[in-house]
Structure 1
Amino acid sequence: MATMKIKKGDTVRVIAGADKDNEGKVIAVNQKNHTVLVEGVNMIKKHTKPSMANQNGGIIEQEGPIDISNVMLLVDGKTTRVGFQMDGDKKVRVAKATGKVID
């Protein structure tokens, strides 16, 4: 399986779909399905039954998954593709647009 170029905590911009041009922080990455959860993007309504954790139940809004191909990493306010380089004996992510090391 290929290495994921987007990680939890990255800031991304949605480049396709109903939420195009929205930005947010990545909450979770699902490597198996190649999807990400982005804060405040692709909000869905979920109907919940009353439980010990949620006494009232009702309708809650939460983020829905977006395919990883529909988001792009933001570096210094600019979208960029991601590459990899060896920094000594460590593999690091690099922004293709600027050549800057991301992490």
Structure 2
Amino acid sequence: MAHVKKGDNVKVIAGAHKGATGTVSSVNEAKQRVIVEGVRKIKKAIKRSEATPDGGIVEIDGPIALSNVKKVD
């Protein structure tokens, strides 16, 4: 069972993004990963489609190990 859930405010306590805070947008318990809004931005290439007619490169929030975050009051 994860110690954080979607919507919780968390602080990153280890890793390259140590000290950053944000809100949890999703939790993957099977892989022990969380996605925190505004932390660990990664770039991803998007193929052309009806939804994105131009395609291109977009920035999304990347996953962080569950053990590297702490719930903040």
Q: Which TM bucket (shorter chain)? A: over 0.9
CA shift, 1:69, in A, is 0.3
- Partner in structure 1 of residue 49 of structure 2: 51
- Partner in structure 1 of residue 67 of structure 2: 69
Unmatched runs of 5 consecutive residues or more in structure 1: 76-103
Q: Which one has a bigger Cα radius of gyration? A: 1
Higher relative contact order (CA 8 A, sep 6+): 2
The TM-score, its normalising length taken from structure 2, stands at: 0.97
CA distance in 1, matches of 2:52, 2:13: 35
The TM-score, its normalising length taken from structure 1, stands at: 0.69
Q: Deviations over 1:7-56 (max 9, x none)?
A: 00000000111111000000000010010000000110001111111111
Tell me the C-alpha RMSD between the 2 structures.
0.6
Unmatched runs of 5 consecutive residues or more in structure 2: none
Structure 1 consecutive aligned stretches of length 4 or more whose deviation exceeds 3 Å: none
Whether 1:41 aligns to 2:39 is yes
Instruction: Tell me the matched-pair count.
Output: 73
Instruction: Give runs of aligned pairs for residues 61-100 of structure 1, distance below 5 A.
Output: 61-75=59-73
Whether 1:22 aligns to 2:20 is yes
SS where residue 67 of structure 2 aligns?
Answer: helix
Amino acid at match of 2:22: G
CA distance in 1, matches of 2:49, 2:17: 32
CA distance in 2, matches of 1:17, 1:57: 32
Q: Percent identity?
A: 49
CA distance in 1, matches of 2:35, 2:17: 13
